[in-house]
Amino acid sequence: MNGTVEKVLYLSSLAVGSWVAKRLLDEYGDLPLHLLCSSIEVHSYDEAYNYLLYWLMKQKFDVDKNRLLAITSLTSGQGGFFGEDNSKDNDAAEEDELEVQADAEYKASLANTRPLLWTPSAGTHWFRYRGRYLALTREVEENRQTVYTRTEKLRVSCLGRDPAILKDLMQDARVAFSQKEKGRTVIYRGMKSIYDGELAWKRSTSRPARPLSTVILDEVVKKAFLEDIQHYLHPRTMRWYSDRGIPYRRGYLFYGPPGTGKSSLAFAAAGFLGLNMYMLNLNSQQLTEDALTQLFLTLPRRCLVLLEDIDASEVTGRRKPGARRRKGKNGVSLSSLLNIIDGVAAQEGRVLIMTTNHHEHLDPALIRPGRVDYKLEFQLASRDLCAAMFRHIFQVYTSAEVDNAQVASYAQGDLSTKEGSAAIDLQELAKQFAEKIPPCVFSPAEVQGYLLRYRDSPEEAVAGVETWVEASLAEKAANDHVLDDKEDEGSKRESEDESEEEDNENQDKEAS
């Protein structure tokens, strides 16, 4: 009897439940599912895509999944437009792969290739985050209009109307990605975007921050520059500028012969200050005045903008009296460049560094105070600089008898260490080397290039330096003679062009 009653109640409950479910389905069947869920989408043309993809990879997403996508870079397939990072960013532990097989040939083969990264394939995947189940959907978007483009989209979803858990996930992904860049300098370049064809800042590469000690420069000059830029970036400085109505911008001009360390100091300063570097080629054919304005408006508040070889641009040279408004081949004018640097709508908080080999060729309006606030001259290698470079190149000791307490003094050139049975007096060798090089004739890059040939033998570097100096001076003399001939031909063409223009003007006047 009791069993029959229980069956009747069970069947009745099932019928009522089915009827209620049917009524709800009929009533709310057209209700969009997204009203019951929360989601966040990121696209492959945005850096947040790399944040999330890197976070998923670090969570060992491939451990319990059977649908994976093998890639060699977070930006695989996007190098032409998004900026391919060709450096090894420790995205995956390559050593783990090397430990699979101890064979030397196998290791050598892997060393010439990038490690494989395992990421979720297209489709929907479920995973747990902070005790909740989340859905990850990876989709491919194709655009077959004018130019075929292929982008990707990641969407993270959760049940409920509160997206707080998703925001926390994206924040954790951002922190994880930033930790990956710790101790590195990320370089961005103005490049054409595959999404809309417009110029935008795209990640180019990430390199280990260069120690300032590796930039061989007069210590007083280097210290003064660093103190100035540190003072500018101090939080109190921004308020000081604001209280006095002064635009919070700072411009630097590095000028000097090629190979004297201008770009090296800019890169090392970015690493020392923890700033990302943004580089732009003013001669790019895709660069227009509108694109230049948009690029500078989208700069982050704290960054270092580097304009290399500013004198190579057609619009930055000295203007002749009464000359017409000059534009480059890409349509960028000097006026637009000046407005970008310190106009009313110019970005504040950034550090601008311009480098040039010939500052005397630059238009005075470009380097006047307010646009360029600090000028730093780089000179050819003096004898003191040559000696310092010699000590820096050969400061790596190899003798096991040199203890840690002696390393610091050895680096300064005060220690005589042993390579086998022969004693090496680094300070004396550096002095002999510098005395054999004529001062202010060679660039530091040339001296360094010579020293790298003998990086394992400082004695041979000293012994062969005189021969190298003679050969280099002869080569310089031959190159100077060729350049003089080309300059004479160029000046003749310019005079002929000017005379033709004058004749045309006179003919126009006579005709009028």
Q: How far apart are the first and last CA of the chain?
A: 122
485 or 441, greater pLDDT: 441
**243 and 311 in one domain?**
yes
Q: Please, which pLDDT band fits residue 442 given cuts at 50, 70 and 90?
A: very high
CA-based nearest residue to 182, from 119, 54, 90: 90
**361 and 251 in one domain?**
yes
Instruction: Express each pLDDT in 161-202 by its tens digit.
Output: 888 999 999 999 999 888 888 888 999 998 877 656 678 888
Check whether 21 has a pLDDT greater than 50: yes
Q: Please, which pLDDT band fits residue 5 given cuts at 50, 70 and 90?
A: low
**349 and 228 in one domain?**
yes
What is the greatest pairwise CA distance in the chain? 126
Instruction: Give the residue-averaged pLDDT of 383-407.
Output: 66
**Distance (Å, whole) CA 415 – CA 398:** 13
**168 and 197 in one domain?**
no
**214 and 146 in one domain?**
no
CA-based nearest residue to 279, from 358, 187, 212: 187
**458 and 361 in one domain?**
no
**124 and 247 in one domain?**
no
Residue 160 within a domain? yes
Q: Which token pair is 397?
A: 């000791």
* Domains identified in the chain, total number: 3
In angstroms and rounded to an integer, the radius of gyration of the C-alpha atoms of the chain is 32
Residue 91 within a domain? no
Q: What was the pLDDT predicted at 92?
A: 47
Supply the pTM of this predicted model: 0.72
- Long-range Cβ contacts of 501-510 (<8 Å, 24+ apart): none
**Last residue within a domain, chosen from 133, 150, 182:** 182
Check whether 381 has a pLDDT greater than 50: yes
Q: Please, which pLDDT band fits residue 143 given cuts at 50, 70 and 90?
A: low
Instruction: Express each pLDDT in 229-282 by its tens digit.
Output: 999 999 899 999 889 888 888 999 999 999 999 999 999 999 999 999 999 888
Check whether 453 has a pLDDT greater than 70: yes
Helix (H) or strand (E) holding 200: strand 199-208
Containing structural domain, residue 175: 34-79+105-182
**241 and 362 in one domain?**
yes
**360 and 300 in one domain?**
yes
Residue 495 within a domain? no
Asked whether the CA dihedral 21, 27, 29, 35 is positive or negative, the reply is negative
